[in-house]
Amino acid sequence: MRSAARSRPSFAGHEQLLAELQGANDHDALPLAGDGRRDGVAKYDFIARLGSGGMGDVFLAVTHGPNHFRKLCVVKQLRTSVASTARSRQTFSKEGYLAARLNHPNIVQTYEVGEDDGVPYLAMEYLEGQTMRTLFSATRSTAVLPDFALWVRIVADALAGLHHVHEVRDFDGSPLGVIHRDVSPHNIFVTYEGRVCLIDFGAAKLALKRQSVECRTLTGKLGYMAPEYVTGGHIDRRADIFSMGVVLWEALAGKKMPNAGLTPAECCRARPRVSSIERRVDPKLDAIVAKAVDVDPERRYADAEEMREALEDWLQSSGRAPRQGDLGDLVTAYFEEEREKVEAAIRARVEAVPTVHLMGAPSDANVSDVDESASDGEDDDGWARKSGEQDVTAQAGRPRTPDSAFPIASVPSVQRNSTPPSRRASKATRRTLSLWPAMAVVAAAVAVSVTIATVAGYMDKIPW
C-alpha cells in the first residue's frame, strides 16, 4: 500500500481569490488553465481560479442564457496533460457518475457532467460562504469562541448529507456503497445563509454490492483517516464516521487532534478525550465524540444517522438548538468585510465577460434584411452557437446595440420568427382560408336551430 496521500485540489482562500478576481479588468486577461486553453469550457466562462490539484483545476465561472440570464457556478475540469490517461479519465468519470446520483440539501449540487474538446468537466453550484477549516482559523484568532452548540449543529447537518451519500442507490435500486474517504474541515462548507454542505467527492470509493472495500492507496488527509484505513484494511462507512468525529473533536477542543502515527501499533492507540483538552465539554457530548473516534469500528456508531440523532438529542437536552440562520450569522460575523469585497470583485469580473442576446435581434435591426439561413446557428431550444464561429450579425453590417449593458459577442442575433413580412402575410391568409369550411358548418347548424324554433312557435299558435 502506498503511504503517501494522493494530491488533492487546494482551494483558494479569500485573499487568493480576491487577487485572482482583481488581477485583470478585461476579458482577455482572465486566468487560463495553465496550458494555453481558452478561458472557458462549453457554455461556461471562467472568471477566477479557485483551486488546483494533481489531476484537475477548479474555476469560478459564469454561464449565460436567454433574456440576460447569468448564473455563477463552479467548474471542475480535468487537466489536458492527464486527460489522455485512462486512469485519470476513469477517476473523473466515477466522480461525475456519483454526482449525478446525489441530491440532498446538505450536499453540493452538480448541474452538468460533460466533455468539451475531449476534456471532461463537472459544473456545480457556487456556494457563498466558508469552509469549517477557514472558520476554525478565524474563531481561534479571537478571544471569544463560538458556542459549542454551533459546532454541533454544523456537524449534525453534515452528517445528514453524509448519510445520504452512504445510502445512495443506483437507478436499478442497488446500493452503491459510497465511502467519502476525505471527510475533513476542508470539505464541510457553511454558506452565509447557514446552509451546511458536504463537498468534494473526488476521493469517494464505491463498494457497490460489497459491504466493505480494501484500499491500497491512501486518498485524503492523514489526520482524519480511520486506523483501519491507514493500516490498509477493509473499510466501510464507519471510516467516515471516525473522520467526522475528529472534525467535531477539533471544533470543540479548539486545536488539532494529535496525530497517532502510521504504524499499526500507533494507529490503534486510543484517541484522547476532548474533555481532557476543553473542560467545558459536558460528559454526554464527550461520550458522543469518544464513540465516534473509537479505534475499533465495531464500537463506533453504525451509521451517520445514528450519530446525528445522538447530537440532536444533546442539542435538545442542552436547551441550545441553533437554527440555520444562527449558522449564517456566525459566518457573516467573521467574514462580512471579505464577503463584500469578493462580491464586488465578482460583479466587476462578470460584467467584463461579454454576454449574448439569445432572444432575438436588437430593437433597431430590420429582420427582413436577414437571411433565414442565419438561424441555423441556433439550436432548437434557442441557444446561440458557440463563440468563435461565424458572426452573421457583423457580416450583415448591422450595428450592435450601443446602449445595451449586455453587448453581443460573436453570435447571430436573429429572431426566431425572422420570416419576411410578405411570407408571414401569405401564411396568415392560408390559415384564415383553412377555417372557412368549419365556419360554414357552424353557420348552417345555427340556421337549422333557428328554423326549428320558429316553426315550433307557429305550431303552438294553431288551434287544434
Active site residues: 182
Query: CA angle, corner 211, sides to 209 and 212, nearest 5?
Result: 115
Residue 382: left if φ>0, alpha if ψ -120 to 50, beta else—which one? Answer: left
Q: Which of 117, 136, 24 is nearest to 77 (CA)?
A: 117
- CA-derived radius of gyration, the chain: 31
Q: Which residues contact 343 (CB under 8 A, 6 or more apart)?
A: 128
C-alpha cell at 117: 474538446
Q: What are phi and psi of 123, to 5 degrees?
A: -110, 120
- Report d(CA 195, CA 304) in Å as an integer: 18
DSSP, res 237: T
Q: Which of 131, 146, 130, 129 is nearest to 254 (CA)?
A: 146
The residue type at 120: P
- Report d(CA 275, CA 282) in Å as an integer: 7
12, 51 Cβ separation under 8 angstroms? yes
151, 248 Cβ separation under 8 angstroms? yes
Q: Where does 255-325 show beta strands of DSSP type E?
A: none
What separation, in Å, do the N-terminal and C-terminal C-alpha atoms of the chain show? 113
- Report d(CA 186, CA 58) in Å as an integer: 15
Count CA atoms within 13 Å of residue 67 on its CB side: 0
